[in-house]
Amino acid sequence: MRIGEILRLLQQEYGPIDWQIDRDPISTLVATVLSQNTSGANSKRAFRSLITAFGSWEAVAAANVDEVAQSIRSGGLAEVKARRIKLILREIRELRGCLDLSFLKELPLSEAKSWLRQLPGVGPKTAGCVLLFSLGRPALPIDTHIFRVAKRLGLIDSRVSPERAHELLENLVPPEDVYSFHIYMVEHGQRICKAQRPRCHLCVLEGLCPSYT
């Protein structure tokens, strides 16, 4: 009931949302790696540069680490991310024989998550992004905004780890609402429920929020 009311109020505030498939799964996987520890603008720039430089994931897999790092320099931590991308692509190709993750759409959700999490450096957030945004699966990736807002709303305990939050929140949100919940919570965290100086006086969730001041 509380999740339903939160979603209703956030929809009134930000408008209706349709579940949209963004990129192919490999692209989302690489883009999520590039988004780590940098701004959205920088990670998007790095992703575009990588695609422009190589044209395909097969070409990225065949390139050396220095070449990949050079193409993603604008995203920060280029050497670390280049090595991780190379390791991930190599592991996928060794396990599947090709760079294609579409098979994950047919697996039970828990198995699809486990398969992705065996890849080097892939945690619950990255796995959730691939499943939610590229395969239309109701996996809920928890970023810093969702984690913060969920704690302030009392949806999860303040002592819960980000990793545990994925499981707890995913179990709370109906599968058909996972996409909109993710989008609304990120939006709300960016606009209103900021890490520093939250704008509580503008919050549509004030009546539901135990942290309201």
Supply the residues annotated as catalytic. 125
Rounded distance, CA 24 to CA 38, Å?
22
Rounded distance, CA 69 to CA 85, Å?
10
> Cβ neighbours of residue 183 under 8 Å, at least 6 residues apart?
17
Kindly list the distances between the CA atom of residue 90 and the CA atoms of 50, 56, 125, in Å, as whole numbers in the listed order. 17, 14, 21
Which tokens is 29 given? 């996987």
> Cβ neighbours of residue 65 under 8 Å, at least 6 residues apart?
79, 82, 83, 86
Nearest by Cα to 131 from 164, 147, 109: 109
